[in-house]
Amino acid sequence: MRFGVAAALWAAGWLANAWAADWPQFLGPTRDGVSPESVEPWGAAGPRVLWKAKVGAGFSSPVVSGGRVVLHHREDDSEVLQAFDAATGKVLWRAPQPTQYRDDFGFDEGPRGTPSISGGTVFSFGAAGRLSAVRLVDGAPVWSRPVGEEMRAGKGFFGFACSPLVWSNLVVVQVGGRPGAGIAAFDAADGHTVWRATEDEAGYASPVVVSVGGRPRIVAFDREGVVVLEPRDGRVAGRKAWRSRQGASVNAATPVPVGGGIFVTASYDTGGALFRLADDGTIATAWSGDGSLSSHFATPVASEGWLFGFHGRQEQGPALRCIEAATGKVLWSEDGFGAGSVTRVGRRLLVLREDGELLLGEASGERWAATARAQVLGTGIRAGAAISEGRWFGRDKRELVALELSAKR
C-alpha cells in the first residue's frame, strides 16, 4: 500500500527543484491539484491583475513551464495552442489546427483536455480526438495523429476530454477506442503507438501515476470504473467497476491518491469510494457511498487526511464539502455553494467558482470560512487554474487572466 502523490514525478521527469516554478500539466506539478507555493489573503480590492488576454472557447486549463503560459482554446474552426509570456502576457507563438468538432448539447466546442509539457514539448488532445506534439520554444509541430478516428472511438456525450499523462518516454491517453484501445500509450518522440489496453469507453477523467510496492502504476478512471495498468506495456493489473447505472452518467473527476489509497468520485447517484491497491495491482474497497463526496466533474484535493471538493450535480447547485478520507465521513458542507474547482496551496484552499469568483480559505476539517474573495473572471467556468512563481492563471470563455497572489516565494 506504499504510495503517495510524490510518485507523480514519474508522470514527466520534472526535477524537484522546478516544482515551485512550473505548473506543467493538468492539476499541477504532482497532478493532484496541490501547489508547493504559499499564498496570503488579499485586500478588499482583490488580487492585483498583471495582464489579460482574449482567448476562445474551451474548458482546457492553462499550464506553465519555463516562463511560458500555454493554453489550448478554439477560435472559429481551429483549435489553437497559444503561448504567452508568464510575466507580461505577450503572445510568443500560436499553433492552430483545423477542427470540425461540434457539441451535441451546445455547451462549448473548444478543447476539454489540458496540455502537458515535458522535455521541451507540449502534448495536447483536442475535442475531436487529435493528439499532437509541438515544441515549447516556438510552437513548431513535432507530430500529430487523429487517434480518436484511427482507433474508432466514439465522441461520447462531450467529445474527447483526457489530459495527456507523460511518463518516461510515453504519452498516455484515455481514448475509448476499439478493439482494445480504451487506453493507449504513444511514443513521445514520434507519436507511434506503443501499447493499447481495455475495451472501455474513455469517460472524462485523466490518468495518474502512483507508486505501489515501489513500482510505478498508471491508475485510470474510465466510464466503467478504475483500471490499474503496468506503464511499460499496458498490462491490466487490476480493475474495479465504479459507475452510475444511468446511461447518461459520466466519470469525470481524476483519481486522487490519499491516505495510502486512491479516491474516486462521480455524480449521477454514484458517489465516492476509497480503494486500496495491493502490490500486484489488485484493488480492494476501503469504503464507498453516495452520501460522502459525489463530484460531477471537478477533482477534489487532499490535505492531512481530508478531502475537499464539490458534492452534487453542477446544474443543481453543488455543496463545497470536506470529508474524512479514511472513512468518507462528512466533516462540513457549504450547501448551495455552486460548482467550481479547488486548488490547495500549502494549508489554504483557492476555490474558483463557476461564476468567476475566487475565494481563499483554510484547508481545515473543522469548517469553511473565506478569508478573501474577489470577482476575477466571467461566468461558465469549467477549467481549473494554474499557479507559478506567485502568479495565478485562470480563464473563462473569453479571457485568460494573470493575477499576483502576493505569495511568499
Q: Which three cell numbers stand for residue 192?
A: 507511434
Q: Does any domain span residue 306? A: yes
The parent domain of residue 176 ranges over 5-404
Question: What is the dihedral angle through the alpha carbons of 331, 336, 340, 342, rounded to the nearest 10 degrees?
Answer: -20
Contact present, 242 and 273 (Cβ < 8 Å): yes
pLDDT score recorded for residue 40: 93
Does a cis peptide bond (omega within 30 degrees of 0) precede residue 179? Answer: yes
Question: What is the dihedral angle through the alpha carbons of 124, 122, 391, 389, rounded to the nearest 10 degrees?
Answer: 140
pLDDT score recorded for residue 326: 97
Q: Does any domain span residue 217? A: yes
Number of domains in the chain: 1
pLDDT score recorded for residue 20: 53
Q: Does any domain span residue 409? A: no
Which parts of the chain have pLDDT scores under 50? 1-19, 407-409
Q: What are phi and psi of 58, to 5 degrees?
A: 135, 165
Q: Does any domain span residue 261? A: yes
Q: Does any domain span residue 321? A: yes
DSSP state string for 343-372? EEETTEEEEEETTSEEEEEE--SS---EEE
Q: Does any domain span residue 139? A: yes
Q: Does any domain span residue 86? A: yes
Q: Does any domain span residue 35? A: yes
We report the CATH number of the domain holding residue 303 as 2.130.10.10
pLDDT score recorded for residue 26: 98
**3-state SS class at 11:** helix
